[in-house]
Amino acid sequence: MVVIGGGYGGATAAKYIRMWDPSIEVVLVERDASFVSCPISNLVLAGYSSMEEISRGYDGLRRHGVTVVRDEVTAIDTARKSVKLANGADIAYERLIVSPGVDFEFSEVEGYESVMQAGAVLHAWKAGPQTVALRRQLEQMSDGGVYVLSVPMAPYRCPPGPYERASMVAAYFKQAKPRSKVLVLDANADVTSKAGLFKRAWSDLYPGILEYRGSAKVVGVERGAVRTDFETIRGDVLNVVPPHRAGDIAMKSGLITTNNRWCDVDWRTMESKAAKGVHVLGDATLSASGMPKSGSMANNHAKIAAAAVVELLNGRAPQPMKIINTCYSFVSQKEAIRVSSVHEWDGTTLQPVKGAGGVSAARSEAEGTYAWNWARTIWADSLA
């Protein structure tokens, strides 16, 4: 078994295959030295958490008997059943799991790549060096400055993530630079997740600091300004999140099936509809109805795939699974809100279970405690 990507999907799948059948050899290929979590990374931007707190090594997986290879997969040969690494080596597989996360369509925002190379615009939509750089820009911005956050058209990874980020930056400004402003330019017509709860928090906690504009798609960026179809807006810190698609390796290997962006799968096994013996997980998938692109979902996809792989490699028929999603978002240092859903097999695909799940009644510190507990639990479930 080879697994590409040691994020929420890949790490969980590698661990659970080893736990459920220790006779299966699992090789995980991950290009980064350690796992850095996007969930909670918005708190790092506000100074409420740290990169150390959201990072984990891969020794936990090694203790489960997973062989962790630090390298980049540059090609998948589905006919020969092998993957090629950047160092030139080939690794053969019987079944392959691909959980590469997302990459970005930079060309859809005019000027993005040149301004990004100059360090004048960041997305920080993959936790890591850009998270640190964005925090530094926010710290260096003078009081009275404007932070612009642009949200791409859905689907993108973590529907509530941009609104949590806007809340966290506003919380930091309120405390450290109260004359500053957060301007959210959303390509979507309205807040795409937990809208009522976010808007309530913004009007209660950040009046005069946080401004939200829907149907405001950013189509261009230059040093110190972004452009929508209607106007040019100046900002001191530009945080433009470009449109998303499945990670590059899925694109290069012909796993993308839909809109040139996403990989359709059989939701009983996560097996690709484009390549037999290849299972695609997490953000890279063409989401089933009502299913967000989230770490919580990727972790659940991984369990479907792990169970299916164990059954298939042992000559048994995999059974469909019922899965759950829970996404917490902080709206202040201690208060959070939640959305959850349950998804079950209807004979064709996974569908949300009516009446199951929902959103928090109100923001609260109790939800904030649950959010931290959720994060620590999923990090342990995926990696320890």
- Least distance (Å) from ligand FAD to the CB of residue 165? 6
Nearest residue relative to ligand FAD (C-beta): 7
- Least distance (Å) from ligand FAD to the CB of residue 305? 11
Residue closer to ligand FAD, measured from CB, 4 or 233: 4
* Backbone angle region of 331, left / alpha / beta, with phi > 0 → left and psi within -120 to 50 → alpha: alpha
**Strand ordering across the sheet containing 27-30:** 67-70, 27-30, 2-4, 96-98, 278-280, 271-272, 265-266
Q: Is the dihedral of CA 358, 361, 366, 368 positive or negative?
A: positive
Can you say how many angstroms the Cα of residue 315 is from the centroid of all Cα atoms in its chain? 33
Residue closer to ligand FAD, measured from CB, 8 or 112: 8
Identity of residue 312: L
Element (H, E) at 382: helix 365-383
- Least distance (Å) from ligand FAD to the CB of residue 211? 20
Residue closer to ligand FAD, measured from CB, 176 or 251: 251
Question: What six digits make up the tokens of 233?
Answer: 């807006």
Cα–Cα distance for residue pair 314/301, rounded to 1 Å? 20
Q: Answer yes or no: are the C-beta atoms of 298 and 157 closer than 8 Å.
A: no
Residue closer to ligand FAD, measured from CB, 85 or 225: 85
Question: Residues in the site for ligand FAD, rule: CB under 6 A?
Answer: 4-10, 29-32, 38-39, 41-42, 72-73, 99-101, 125, 157-158, 161, 165, 247, 249, 282-284, 293-296, 298, 327-328
- Least distance (Å) from ligand FAD to the CB of residue 85? 8
Residue closer to ligand FAD, measured from CB, 52 or 231: 52
- Least distance (Å) from ligand FAD to the CB of residue 347? 26
- Least distance (Å) from ligand FAD to the CB of residue 62? 16
Minimal CA–CA distance to 312: which of 21, 2, 63?
Answer: 21
Residue closer to ligand FAD, measured from CB, 4 or 166: 4
Residue closer to ligand FAD, measured from CB, 287 or 349: 287
Q: Answer yes or no: are the C-beta atoms of 149 and 166 closer than 8 Å.
A: yes
- Least distance (Å) from ligand FAD to the CB of residue 284? 6
Q: Which residues pair with 257 in a beta bridge?
A: none
Q: Answer yes or no: are the C-beta atoms of 138 and 165 closer than 8 Å.
A: no
The residue behind tokens 């909670």 is 40
